[in-house]
Structure 1
């Protein structure tokens, strides 16, 4: 089989920790101090808000529910929504550069991300590049989350590209594992430099594109 037979017809990006840094603990440490943050996260588990809104639940309702259950941390919990644009960031510049390099070379680029409806809209206001994808498959809208096979099936059925011609990068091994099982080409995202180098080695972009 020639290299051309294996050439991707679309590149699929995860968003959190691929294009946008996602380490909310660091922000809360800066705002309230590490000890307060650790106590709050242990009692409240604010990541549950994300898990549930990624599956389609309403962001505002989830925050209000958590704040009512944990009034001692009401202010901190409300900041999960009120300061979302800071929590989900900053952008990972080199990864963003690869997105636009692929677009300039005519390669379709898709997003496949666990993201809530409201939280994605807020992040899109902050990061204009989230509007640059040719297609976006966002779990909150689809009401199914990675690594469940269903969200991958939706992407395949909608884009009409054979699984083995999709190149997918994600920072979570479980999400990559599902794509592998479906026959996708994959790259476990560890650093933006390694991702850029992977695209260069695949002949999809060149260093001067970045």
Structure 2
């Protein structure tokens, strides 16, 4: 079946999301390792992905863990250090698909309020035809419901969706529903997949 829409994850597909690396630069690797060994900041961020306001959740967690208060607050205060840099080749691929008239969707675990701020900072996030953002929907990958929402809202059959994500568990659920999938490791591999599907030419995918 021909592809009718291409679905992009955002973190580590369009924008690098490497909190540990950012904290290494902000507070040093040794201190970062000590903090992450004591605290599950990624679990804290899961609440944000489900719709909790970023600042409220982070600052509350900081008050619960006063030893690391200042460092935890950086998850909010220095958020754009955590979510950077842009993956430029992926941006070019998204725009090449749009130029070809291929609908492009965002399907991302992402906070509600920070999505709006990120869309001002990273203009590519405004260029999707449809957005399926966990913090706005109250559902996260890899759970089934958010994939159902994509199908229902777009009215596209699962086997006509091509989805790129950097996490195997997110890809596995989409594949189980019949979507075509691509485990993103780098933009070059994603470009080759788009060419192999006939969605872009080799020149367009550069």
Q: TM-score, normalised by structure 2?
A: 0.96
CA distance in 2, matches of 1:194, 1:74: 40
Q: What are the residue-to-residue correspondences of 1:36-51 with 2, within 5 Å?
A: 36-51=31-46
Q: What are the residue-to-residue correspondences of 1:112-127 with 2, within 5 Å?
A: 112-127=107-122
CA distance in 2, matches of 1:25, 1:194: 25
3-state DSSP class of the match of 2:182?
strand
CA distance in 1, matches of 2:8, 2:153: 16
User: What do the CA deviations read for 1:130-152 (whole angstroms, capped 9, x no partner)?
Assistant: 00000000000000100111000
Q: By how many angstroms is 1:49 displaced?
A: 2.3
In angstroms, what is the RMSD of aligned CA positions?
1.0
Q: What are the residue-to-residue correspondences of 1:145-184 with 2, within 5 Å?
A: 145-184=140-179
Q: Does 1:23 align with 2:18?
A: yes
Q: By how many angstroms is 1:71 displaced?
A: 1.2
Q: Does 1:69 align with 2:85?
A: no
Gaps of 5+ in 1: 1-5
Task: Give the aligned partner of residue 203 of structure 1.
Answer: 198
Task: Give the aligned partner of residue 105 of structure 1.
Answer: 100
Q: Runs of at least 4 residues of structure 1 off by over 3 A?
A: none
3-state DSSP class of the match of 1:89?
strand
Q: Does 1:9 align with 2:4?
A: yes
3-state DSSP class of the match of 1:78?
helix
